[in-house]
């Protein structure tokens, strides 16, 4: 194999299997391996044009006769939170966020298991072990980081951050033009406080601070209630056949 062939991605297609989002449909994925010998610019190009990353695999839906999965990203500098988002922000105002390297911990895994068992016990992650979680976090060839969210006790100094209760974790990639939210999980007892919404809002604010124009939310899937929440973060762009396209904003309560 020549040096040029090593740098050019080889693509594969998975066998059909039941779609986890739309009953009665089959899904296939087009994927390629992300390795250190691939140019960083090429990997970034994949991840900013519709591919998602899972460990060192970049994939995109490749389903026959179905185009329900659409990549979405939030336009950071024009983002406006609505009333319900502002309530989520206030309800979680005692949380403190800290970016860390993509290094897994037993504490994170315990929270991850509680989240999966409570909300996705019948999904593909139901049997994940600490080793599986470690690979999910560590197995990356790009700039990947974690954000830990901890409950700050009244009057506690920042130096005691590691001893505060861990409430949520987000695994993210830093791309050339934005932050890609790869996977997030949180204390299932905090679902009513809008923790999931809060984490997206906090990453939008972080992207604003560091000058990145987009936050990538993965795929919005038409007809899937699980993915409907993504339409709330506006303005947003969706990836069309040729380019990212701005979508009309919903007349939601602001």
Half-sphere exposure (CA, 13 Å, Cβ side) for 203?
A: 33
More confident residue, 225 or 70: 70
Percent of the chain topping pLDDT 90: 77
- What CA–CA distance (Å, rounded) separates 222 from 204? 23
Given a contact cutoff of 8 angstroms between Cβ atoms, the answer to whether 63 and 30 are in contact is: no
The pTM for the full model equals 0.92
Q: Check residue 119 and give its pLDDT.
A: 81
The domains of the chain are located at 3-67, 73-246
- The set of residues, in sequence order, having a beta carbon less than 8 Å from that of 29 and lying 6+ positions away, is 13, 14, 59, 60, 61, 62
Over residues 102-140, the pLDDT tens digits come to 999 999 999 999 999 988 777 778 889 999 999 999 999
43: enclosing H helix or E strand: helix 40-47
Average pLDDT, the chain: 91
* pLDDT classification of 254: cutoffs 50, 70, 90: very low
Over residues 199-253, the pLDDT tens digits come to 999 999 999 999 999 999 999 998 888 889 999 999 999 999 889 999 988 744 4
Least confident of 18-22, 39-43, 49-53, 54-58: 18-22
Q: What are the φ and ψ backbone dihedral angles of 130, each rounded to 5 degrees?
A: -60, -35
Over residues 161-176, the pLDDT tens digits come to 999 999 999 999 999 9
Q: Check residue 154 and give its pLDDT.
A: 87
Q: Check residue 9 and give its pLDDT.
A: 80
Give the CATH fold of the 73-246 domain. Aminopeptidase (3.40.630)
Q: Check residue 253 and give its pLDDT.
A: 44
For the segment 41-54, the average pLDDT, to the nearest whole number, is 96
Q: Check residue 138 and give its pLDDT.
A: 96
Q: Cα angle vertex 72, ends 56, 169, to 5°?
A: 55
Q: Check residue 120 and give its pLDDT.
A: 77
């Amino acid at each position: 194999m020549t040096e040029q062939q090593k740098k050019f991605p080889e693509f594969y297609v998975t066998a059909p299997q039941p779609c986890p989002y739309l009953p009665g449909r089959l899904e296939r994925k087009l994927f390629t391996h992300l390795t250190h010998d691939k140019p960083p610019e090429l990997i970034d190009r994949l991840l900013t044009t519709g591919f998602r990353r899972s460990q060192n695999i970049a994939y995109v839906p490749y389903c026959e006769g179905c185009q329900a999965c659409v990549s979405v990203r939030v336009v950071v500098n024009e983002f406006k939170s609505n009333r319900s988002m502002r309530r989520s922000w206030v309800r979680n105002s005692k949380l403190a966020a800290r970016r860390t390297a993509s290094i897994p911990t037993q504490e994170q895994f315990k929270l991850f298991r509680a989240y999966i068992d409570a909300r996705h016990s019948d999904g593909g992650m139901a049997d994940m072990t600490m080793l599986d979680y470690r690979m999910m976090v560590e197995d990356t060839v790009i700039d990947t980081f974690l954000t830990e969210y901890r409950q700050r006790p009244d009057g506690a100094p920042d130096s005691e951050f590691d001893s505060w209760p861990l409430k949520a974790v987000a695994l993210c990639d830093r791309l050339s033009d934005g932050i890609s939210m790869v996977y997030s999980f949180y204390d299932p007892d905090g679902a009513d406080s809008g923790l999931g919404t809060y984490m997206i809002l906090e990453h939008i604010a972080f992207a604003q601070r560091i000058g990145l124009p987009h936050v990538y939310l993965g795929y919005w899937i038409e007809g899937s209630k699980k993915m409907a929440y993504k339409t709330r973060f506006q303005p947003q762009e969706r990836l069309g056949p040729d380019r990212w396209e701005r979508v009309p904003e919903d007349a939601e309560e602001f």
